[in-house]
């Protein structure tokens, strides 16, 4: 997991050959003016979804992970908390892996919580289990999905 400010995005381009395109989208658009929908960046390899959701109590947030994609989750408005666990430590599967949606849900509680605000991002790799949308109030966010390999 990485947490940083979008102004430092270039530091992470070398971590994945698709990160430059992913962060390029984030840096070249006024994220506050995006419509709530999916945005194609590079076909199935890199795409983004803008959404507006209500924050959840920590126990209501779904603890999830992905096999094929890395998540770059950017806070556009409000504050968003995330639960986090090292995925290999998660032992209690709540909903089995769905290969079409590239998602698995765990019943395990996150080990730690972090919070980001507008202009900041969190990167979750396949080894990171994460519970998004923790907090209160409205959260505006962009989730960029980046093919991991």
- Please state, in angstroms and rounded to a whole number, the distance separating the CA atoms of residues 63 and 147: 20
pLDDT tens, position by position, 89-108: 999 999 999 999 999 999 99
Model confidence pTM above 0.85:
yes
- Is 81 a residue whose pLDDT tops 90? yes
Q: What is the mean pLDDT of the chain?
A: 97
**Contact between 83 and 131 (Cβ < 8 Å):** yes
Radius of gyration of the chain (CA): 14
The CATH superfamily holding the domain 2-147 is: YhcH/YjgK/YiaL (2.60.120.370)
Average pLDDT over residues 56-74: 97
- Is 149 a residue whose pLDDT tops 90? no
Please state the φ and ψ torsions of residue 115, each to the nearest 5 degrees. Answer: -135, 140
Average pLDDT over residues 35-54: 97
Distances (CA, A) of 12 to 1, 99, 149: 12, 27, 16
């Amino acid at each position: 997991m990485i947490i940083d400010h979008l102004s430092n995005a270039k530091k992470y381009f070398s971590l994945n050959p698709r990160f430059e395109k992913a962060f390029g989208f984030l840096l070249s658009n006024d994220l506050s003016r995006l419509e709530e929908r999916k945005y194609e960046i590079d076909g199935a390899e890199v795409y983004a979804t803008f959404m507006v959701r209500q924050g959840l109590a920590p126990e209501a947030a779904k603890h999830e992970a992905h096999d094929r994609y890395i998540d770059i989750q950017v806070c556009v408005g409000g504050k968003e908390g995330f639960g986090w666990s090292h995925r290999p430590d998660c032992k209690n599967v709540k909903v089995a892996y769905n290969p079409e949606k590239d998602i698995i849900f765990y019943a395990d509680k996150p080990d730690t919580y972090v919070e980001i605000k507008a202009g900041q991002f969190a990167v979750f790799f396949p080894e990171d289990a994460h519970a998004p949308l923790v907090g209160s109030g409205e959260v505006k966010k962009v989730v960029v999905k980046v093919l991991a390999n």
